[in-house]
Amino acid sequence: MASVSLAAAGPVIPDYSAQSSSCVVHNHLFCTDWISHNFSPILWPALRQHILLALAAVAIGFAISMALALAAHRYRRLERPTILVTTFLYTIPSLALFELLVAPVGPNVFSAEIALVSYTLLILFRNILTGLRAVPAEVLDAAEGMGMSRRQALWRVELPLALPAIVAGLRIAVVTIIALATIVYTIYDAGLGVPIHTALGEGPFKTELIAAGGLAILLALLSDALLVGVQRLLTPWARTRAS
């Protein structure tokens, strides 16, 4: 009884004033009408921010990792120090890293991105380098023996052959970053973490929590499926094994 009146009092759930349905008022587990009323003002902006946060982090992380992996592919001795540094970054607890960055950078999108990017490096660097190294020696010998330059061999042979390993790394990175981006709210007011955090303060009202959390999961699954599809399109040769 008390909880009903508390919910109806209205300070915790934003913007449901006169339209509040009995579902919302009675704290049913999942209220579709709450979703339809709050999708455009709350969920959609959060989802869009979340996508942008993750996309930027993976794109920047990919560019850095690719450069590092190409360098380590050519100069073997760069591998160990790179692994060391990226592993260190990967092991810092995420909440701590976010807080650590606020002091020098400020509670803004830059802190958020630096933290997210740093978590992609180890995964992407390792996968790209593994992919490049797995190119068979005789294939490279043939490429060189037929008169390809280093650059031509890289673009025409090594990178295409490393693609499955690279996409495998991207899939892990994307799913990881989409999950991690839900705690960006602790330093910067963006992403699905915002409605999730709000919902956690909404007591028995679970719709917002389920909706925002569900969106994060759905986003991760869809992104993963998208990458699988892209890989299938780009590597038709990998599907024809042992026919």
Partner 1 sequence: MKTEDTAHNEGPSAFAQAAELELRGVSKLYPGQREPAIKELSLTVPAGEVCVLVGPSGSGKTTAMRLINRLIPISGGDILLGGESVLEREPKALRREIGYVIQQIGLFPHQTVGENIATVPRLLGWEEKRIGERVDELLALIDLDPAEMRTRYPSQLSGGQRQRVGVARALAADPPLMLMDEPFGAIDPINRARLQDEFLRLQAQVKKTVVFVTHDIDEAIKMGDRIAILREGGVLAQYDTPQEILTRPADSFVAQFVGADRGLKRLALTTLAELKLIEPNGLRPDESADGARRVPRETSVRDALSTLLSAGGQPLTVIDGEGRVEGLVTLTLVEQLLSEEAANANANGNGNGNGNGNAADGG
Site for partner 1 in 200-219 (CB under 8 A): none
Q: Which one, 144 or 202, has the nearer CB to partner 1?
A: 144
Closest CA to 198 of 8, 14, 7: 14
DSSP per-residue letters across 209-232: HHHHHHHHHHHHHHHHHHHHHHHH
Q: Is residue 110 a contact partner of residue 53, using CB atoms and an 8 Å limit?
A: no
Query: How many residues bind to partner 1 according to rule CB under 8 A?
Result: 27
Q: Which residue has the tokens 């999942």?
A: 30
Of the candidate residues 8, 52, 148, 210, the single one contacting partner 1 (CB under 8 A): 148
One residue of 42, 112, 161, 196 binding partner 1 per CB under 8 A: 161
Of the two residues 104 and 136, which places its CB atom closer to partner 1 in the complex? 136
Nearer to partner 1, 104 or 147 (CB): 147
Using CB under 8 A, pick the residue from 5, 40, 136, 233 that binds partner 1: 136
Does 147 participate in binding partner 1 (rule CB under 8 A)?
Answer: yes
Work out whether 242 is an interface residue with partner 1 (CB under 8 A): yes
> Which part of the chain contacts partner 1 (CB under 8 A), choosing from 45-53, 88-96, 190-198, 232-240?
232-240
Q: What single-letter DSSP state applies at residue 128?
A: H
The one among 4, 141, 217, 221 contacting partner 1 by CB under 8 A: 141
As a whole number of angstroms, the distance between CA 170 and CA 227 comes to: 8
**Among 86, 50, 54, CA closest to 193:** 50
3-state SS of the chain: helix, strand, coil percent to 5?
Answer: 80, 0, 20
> Would you give the end-to-end CA distance of the chain in angstroms?
67
Q: How far apart are CB 154 and partner 1 at their closest, in Å?
A: 13
Nearer to partner 1, 11 or 236 (CB): 236
C-alpha–C-alpha distance, residues 158 and 140, integer Å = 8
Q: Based on the shown chain and the rule CB under 8 A, indicate whether residue 152 belongs to the binding site for partner 1.
A: yes
Question: Which of 4, 134, 139, 222 touches partner 1 (CB under 8 A)?
Answer: 139
* Residue in 79, 39, 76, 7 with CA at minimum distance from that of residue 212: 39
Q: Which positions lie near partner 1, rule CB under 8 A? A: 136, 138-149, 152, 156-157, 160-161, 163, 235-238, 240-243
